């Protein structure tokens, strides 16, 4: 599997660290227990297209949001993200 | 037909032409007392123990593919109970006790081989941690012994015990009652034994939905029609999120990850125990056919693909050669992947769900095979009595909300690290 890093180009998956479901965003600290429980523990875990974060630890060290089909490993899109989750 | 020396002789004399099928090819009936979704090891064991221990024989096991096509035929066949947390120790030790009598129980040779499981230690601190775990096991009535380098050299002749090894070995922890089992025989043995007690095993029958009366489950919709059920138990490992979504559970404390396993070309007798590498992650044993069977880490990203990527192949092969330098020119025969239901704390879930009549067995990470007998035993109890057995009371679905986690590794809510 190779991931198209927007900065470095097509690179081996072994250069990246998986950071999980990109749709899960940290709530504000004062959010209630149920919200934090959902953020920390609950995942949709779909078979099919999955938005996920990959950290290019052995490359540019940027965070890349990748849409990937979990049934086939086909990569559908990739874009850089900021710490707040917004695209660049 | 009961398998025995008599049946063997009789069939030898008649040219092996009259062996009956091991289980019927059942057609789905309109309704059952209990429907088990998932015809893998855990589902078949659940059906067997429902019939055997609880007298519930009006049971169907629905399997999407063919029997034994999932993780029951994809694992590295290791059994052990070398855990430290009490809930895990008690559960896996009960599983090991069921394994020890399984061939007799099922009248099917599951080839349980208690050849020992050795965990290697590569630093004094790691050996101390193993001593602590071994002591915890012995306090719980589980067998464990600490091995020094001389003993390791005697038991595992191919091991690189030199001082110049990349990760010098300082000792190990052995569970002598651990070992291996022929995994296909577990599926076939449970299927045959459940069938003999009246359970319908229905292959090529995928569940496409659930039917409810209010919140109470009343059956399942399948590719072979709607089947009514008083109770439904779901035991589908890596497909848990997708199947439970059909029942209205959109989010669970589970991620599906791919774990690869490997078998080499056949060798003469080389390794008569199971060895695990402590400086990385590798577990290796030799099958009775002679091939080395081994595996390592999961690939580490969500996947339903049943195949992995090359970096893990290289990592696992490197670990094997680091431990056993003489394997460096060994060729791989096959590699494959299985989909693991990685839970958020590394421990399983066997519990009722918030919907009456619907029960869940999931979250096995990559430790599901050794749990097969106790998982079925506990899940059948939970379904039959509508309450968990003390052995699986800790494997509650709501423990992530209440905080009563069972994090054996202390890795936190990061499924790829368990």
Quick one: pLDDT at residue A82? 76
Distance CA B48, CA B194 (A): 4
**Which residues contact residue B162 at a Cβ distance below 8 angstroms, ignoring those fewer than 6 apart?**
B168
Distance CA B287, CA B258 (A): 23
Summarize pLDDT for B304-360 with one digit per residue, the tens: 999 999 999 999 999 999 999 999 999 999 999 999 999 999 999 999 999 999 999
Share of chain A above pLDDT 90, in %: 89
Expressed as residue numbers, the domain containing A83 is 1-22+49-88
CA dihedral A23, A24, A30, A31 (to 10 degrees): 80
Q: Quick one: tokens of B267?
A: 């060798």
What is the Cβ-side half-sphere exposure of residue B179, based on CA atoms within 13 angstroms?
A: 19
Is A33 a domain residue? no
Number of domains in chain A: 1
Quick one: pLDDT at residue A87? 56
A61 touches B: beta carbon within 8 Å: no
Chain B residues whose CB is inside 8 A of the A73 CB are 303, 305, 309
CB nearest A41 (choices: B309, B400, B416): B400
State the average pLDDT for chain B: 96
Summarize pLDDT for B212-270 with one digit per residue, the tens: 999 999 999 999 999 999 999 999 999 999 999 999 999 999 999 999 999 999 999 99
Is A62 a domain residue? yes
Helix axis angle, B183-196 to B368-385, nearest 10°: 20
Predicted confidence (pLDDT) at residue A85 exceeds the cutoff of 70: no
Quick one: pLDDT at residue B239? 97
Is A66 a domain residue? yes
B346 CA to chain A: closest CA distance, Å?
Answer: 12
Once rounded to an integer, what is the mean pLDDT over residues A37-66? 97
A50 touches B: beta carbon within 8 Å: yes
Q: Quick one: tokens of B197?
A: 């007690």
Are A3 and A11 in contact by the 8 Å Cβ rule? The answer is yes
Residue B327: strand, helix, or coil: helix
Is A37 a domain residue? no
Q: Could you tell me which of B39, B28, B408, B416 has the C-alpha nearest to residue B235? A: B39
CATH value at residue A12: 3.30.2270.10
A 3-42: CB under 8 A from B = 12-14, 18, 20-21, 37-38, 40-42
Helix (H) / strand (E) element for A69: namely strand A63-69
Chain A residues whose CB is inside 8 A of the B297 CB are none
ipTM of the modeled complex? 0.94
A70 touches B: beta carbon within 8 Å: yes
Once rounded to an integer, what is the mean pLDDT over residues A51-70? 97
E strands, B155-290, are 171-175, 179-180, 200-202, 207-213, 216-222, 225-234, 254-266, 274-277, 282-286
Distance CA B211, CA B260 (A): 36
Residue B334: strand, helix, or coil: strand
User: Cα B125 to chain center, whole Å?
Assistant: 30
Is A81 a domain residue? yes
Is A87 a domain residue? yes
**Which residues contact residue A32 at a Cβ distance below 8 angstroms, ignoring those fewer than 6 apart?**
none
Q: Quick one: tokens of B352?
A: 């009722």
Size of interface A-B (CB pairs under 8 A): 69
Is A86 a domain residue? yes
Quick one: pLDDT at residue B52? 98
- Give chain B's residues under pLDDT 50: none
CB nearest A71 (choices: B305, B311, B400): B305
Is A34 a domain residue? no
A72 CA to chain B: closest CA distance, Å?
Answer: 6
This prediction has a pTM of: 0.96
Chain B residues whose CB is inside 8 A of the A45 CB are 241-242, 251-252, 254-256, 302
Distance CA B115, CA B89 (A): 20
């Amino acid at each position: 599997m190779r991931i198209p890093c927007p900065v470095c180009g097509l690179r081996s998956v072994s250069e990246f660290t998986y950071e999980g479901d990109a749709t899960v965003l940290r709530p504000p600290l004062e959010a209630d227990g149920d919200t934090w429980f959902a953020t920390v523990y609950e995942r949709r875990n779909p078979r099919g297209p999955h938005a996920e974060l990959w950290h290019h630890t052995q490359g540019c060290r940027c965070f890349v949001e990748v849409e990937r089909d979990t049934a086939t490993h086909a990569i559908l899109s990739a874009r850089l993200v900021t710490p707040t989750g917004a695209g660049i | 037909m009961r398998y025995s020396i008599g049946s063997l002789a009789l069939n030898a004399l008649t040219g092996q032409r009259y062996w009956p099928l091991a289980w019927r090819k059942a057609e789905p009936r309109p309704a059952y007392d209990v429907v088990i979704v998932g015809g893998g090891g855990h589902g078949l064991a659940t059906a067997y123990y429902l019939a055997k221990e609880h007298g519930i024989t009006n049971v169907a096991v629905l399997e999407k593919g063919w029997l034994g096509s999932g993780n029951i035929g994809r694992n590295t066949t290791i059994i052990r109970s070398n855990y430290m947390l009490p809930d895990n120790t008690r559960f896996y030790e009960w599983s090991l006790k069921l394994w020890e009598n399984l061939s007799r129980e099922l009248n099917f040779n599951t080839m349980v081989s208690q050849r020992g499981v050795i965990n290697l230690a590569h630093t004094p601190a790691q050996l101390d941690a193993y001593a602590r775990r071994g002591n915890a096991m012995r306090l719980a009535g589980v067998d464990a012994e600490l091995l020094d380098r001389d003993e390791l050299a005697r038991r595992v002749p191919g091991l690189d015990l030199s001082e110049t090894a990349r990760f010098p070995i300082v000792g190990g922890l052995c569970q002598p009652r651990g070992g291996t089992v022929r995994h296909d025989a577990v599926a076939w043995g449970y299927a045959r034994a459940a069938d003999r007690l009246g359970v319908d095993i229905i292959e090529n029958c995928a569940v496409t939905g659930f039917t409810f009366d209010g919140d109470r489950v009343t059956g399942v919709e399948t590719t072979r029609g709607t089947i009514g059920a008083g109770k439904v138990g779901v035991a589908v490992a890596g497909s848990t999120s997708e199947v439970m979504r059909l029942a209205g559970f959109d989010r669970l404390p589970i991620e599906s990850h791919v774990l690869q396993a490997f078998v080499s070309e056949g060798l003469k007798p080389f390794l008569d125990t199971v060895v695990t590498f402590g400086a990385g992650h590798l577990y290796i044993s030799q099958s009775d056919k002679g091939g080395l069977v081994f595996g390592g880490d999961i690939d580490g990203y969500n996947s339903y693909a049943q195949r992995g990527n090359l970096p893990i192949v290289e990592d696992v092969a490197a670990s094997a050669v680091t431990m056993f330098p003489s394997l460096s020119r060994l060729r791989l025969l096959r590699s494959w992947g299985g989909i693991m239901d990685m839970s958020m704390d590394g421990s399983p879930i066997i519990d009722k769900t918030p919907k009456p009549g619907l029960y869940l067995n999931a979250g096995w990470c990559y430790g599901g095979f050794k749990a097969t007998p106790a998982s079925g035993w506990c899940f059948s109890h939970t379904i039959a009595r509508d309450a968990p057995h003390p052995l699986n009371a800790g494997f509650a679905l709501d423990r992530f909300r209440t905080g009563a986690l069972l994090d054996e590794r202390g890795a936190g809510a990061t499924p790829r690290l368990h």
